[in-house]
Amino acid sequence: MKKVLKKPQASQLHPVPNEAANRLRFFTERKDAITETIRQLVEIESPSDNKAAVDQLGVLLAGRFEKIGGHAKFHRAQSYGDHLQVDFSGARSGKPVLLLGHIDTVYPMGTLSTMPCRVAEGRLWGPGALDMKSGIALILHALEGLRTWHGDTVPRPVTVLLVTDEEVGSESSRRITESLARKSEAVLVLEPSYGLKGAVKTARKGVGEYTVKVTGKSAHSGLDFDKGESAVVEMARQITAITKLVNLKRGLTLNVGVISGGTRTNVIPAQATASLDVRVTHMKDAAAIDRQLRALKPFNRKCKLEIKGAVNRPPMERGPGVAMLYKKASEIAKGLGWKLEEAAVGGGSDGNFTASLGIPTLDGLGGVGEGAHATHESIIISELPRRATLLAELIERT
């Protein structure tokens, strides 16, 4: 056994350059303030389908960003909350870096009464804590840090976009996200990190949703069995055909998640519907699977088949822009004495839109925790300082 004379300091185990250490200390001293911001954001519920609630949080956030020198404006949305854009002009000129996130959560109004926001076991628990109110808090505090170190201004132009419909497909915000991304140097997405080690996300699958509708012909199952054309039987055969399109090796999956059909046991069903979720790893599979689904033909020629849907989030592939940003982030993390891992995940985010436009995008820069969309959703408080440091340095160096 090695003889240890003096207990090594943490800094000796992982040598940390001075400036990075100072910045980490800055955020460590503000850990409680960051936690308090997250608590405040979690305690204002913001389900995607409740415009008034989401708008209330949007207004509060606009105020917080204005307080640290940002110029806030809203993109009005009719059925969702207004999307919030905040611009910071920055000490040097050039393209901004886009910090992307969403205000909405999947939790219906009133969830706080059964799932209250609380701090326990070193974590902050509550609806949306991980996905992604901690990410929003990290943006606020990272920008505040940068302003402190750079004489009350951020070192480079920054645009923040917080949309309100990400959890329901981003139909209303997609164009805003894409147009701001096109004007930006890079996009940093504050969605939750992956796993308890806090890996960033460098690849995400593309996501699509389709509905298959079969129309047959109803008849009395006892008196006129031969006159009916069962939509349910036809649907069963279609589901088998659809399932054969799965290609796990290529990361291409189809899940028929919901089916319905028929009216009574003694009626040959005239209607059946199936809804499916499609995930693609590669861009070219999106078009191919769309073609294959649309080419489905009825097995029973007397039944009618209708197919609707699309791949609405293209995959985020690990292109050169993504790889370059990951390299930069892992160098920053290394300087802080930590190994930042990367992960490829099946879920989509708005980062899929920006990456597929060829804009360098790094996702999963938000909080570290578990239980997104679940009753045990929580973030690890001790991870907040280094996530804030990483974000601040990435904004500065990108």
* Nearest residue relative to Zn ion (C-beta): 131
Query: Which is closer to Zn ion, CB of 101 or CB of 145?
Result: 101
- Scanning 56-64, 130-138, 180-188, 315-323 for contacts with Zn ion by CB under 5 A, the matching segment is 130-138
CB nearer to Zn ion: pick between 51 and 373: 373
Nearest alpha carbon to residue 38 among 136, 120, 113, 160: 136
**The two structure tokens encoding residue 322:** 């993504």
144 binds Zn ion (CB under 5 A): no
H or E segment to which residue 260 belongs = strand 253-261
Name the segment binding Zn ion (CB under 5 A); options: 33-41, 67-75, 103-111, 183-191.
183-191
Q: Which of residues 329-348 bind Zn ion (CB under 5 A)?
A: none
Number of residues this chain uses to bind Zn ion (CB under 5 A) = 3
> Applying CB under 5 A, which part among 91-99, 157-165, 176-184, 186-194 lies near Zn ion?
186-194
Give the C-alpha separation, 173 to 50, whole Å: 16
Using CB under 5 A as the binding rule, whether residue 363 contacts Zn ion is answered as no
Asked if residue 132 binds Zn ion (CB under 5 A), the reply is yes
* Minimum distance from residue 134 beta carbon to Zn ion (Å): 11
Q: Which of 267, 242, 237 is nearest to 257 (CA)?
A: 242
> Any contact of residue 393 with Zn ion (CB under 5 A)?
no
CA distance 389 to 336: 9
CA dihedral for 257, 263, 268, 272, sign (positive or negative)? negative
**Sign (positive or negative) of CA dihedral 150, 151, 152, 157:** negative
Query: Does residue number 285 form part of the binding site for Zn ion (CB under 5 A)?
Result: no
* Identity of the residue, 191 or 229, whose beta carbon is nearer to Zn ion in the bound complex: 191
Q: Are 156 and 92 in contact (CB under 8 A)?
A: yes
Q: Which is nearer to Zn ion, 335 or 364 (CB)?
A: 364
| 103 contacts Zn ion (rule: CB under 5 A) | no
Contacts (Cβ under 8 Å, ≥6 apart) of 176: 75, 83, 85, 161, 163
Q: Which one, 30 or 83, has the nearer CB to Zn ion?
A: 83
Looking at the Cβ atoms of 191 and 396, the one nearer to Zn ion is: 191
Cα within 13 Å of Cα(136), Cβ side? 32
Spell out where 153-222 has E strands: 158-163, 186-189, 200-204, 206-215, 219-220
Query: Minimum Å distance from CB 349 to Zn ion?
Result: 6
CB of 167 to Zn ion, least distance (A): 7
Judged by CB under 5 A, which of 55, 131, 285, 363 binds Zn ion? 131
- In the numeric block, which tokens belong to residue 254? 């189809």
User: Angle at CA 269, nearest 5°, toward 228 and 238?
Assistant: 100
Closer residue to Zn ion in complex, CB, 192/228 = 192
Smallest gap from Cβ 387 to Zn ion, in A, equals 15
For Zn ion, the closer of residues 191 and 317 by Cβ is 191
User: Token pair 């991870």 is at which residue?
Assistant: 383
Q: How far is the CB of 205 from Zn ion (least distance, A)?
A: 15
Q: How far is the CB of 191 from Zn ion (least distance, A)?
A: 5
The answer to the question of residue 42 lying near Zn ion (CB under 5 A) is: no
Q: Are 33 and 145 in contact (CB under 8 A)?
A: no
Residues facing residue 81 across a β-bridge = none
Footprint of Zn ion (CB under 5 A): 131-132, 191
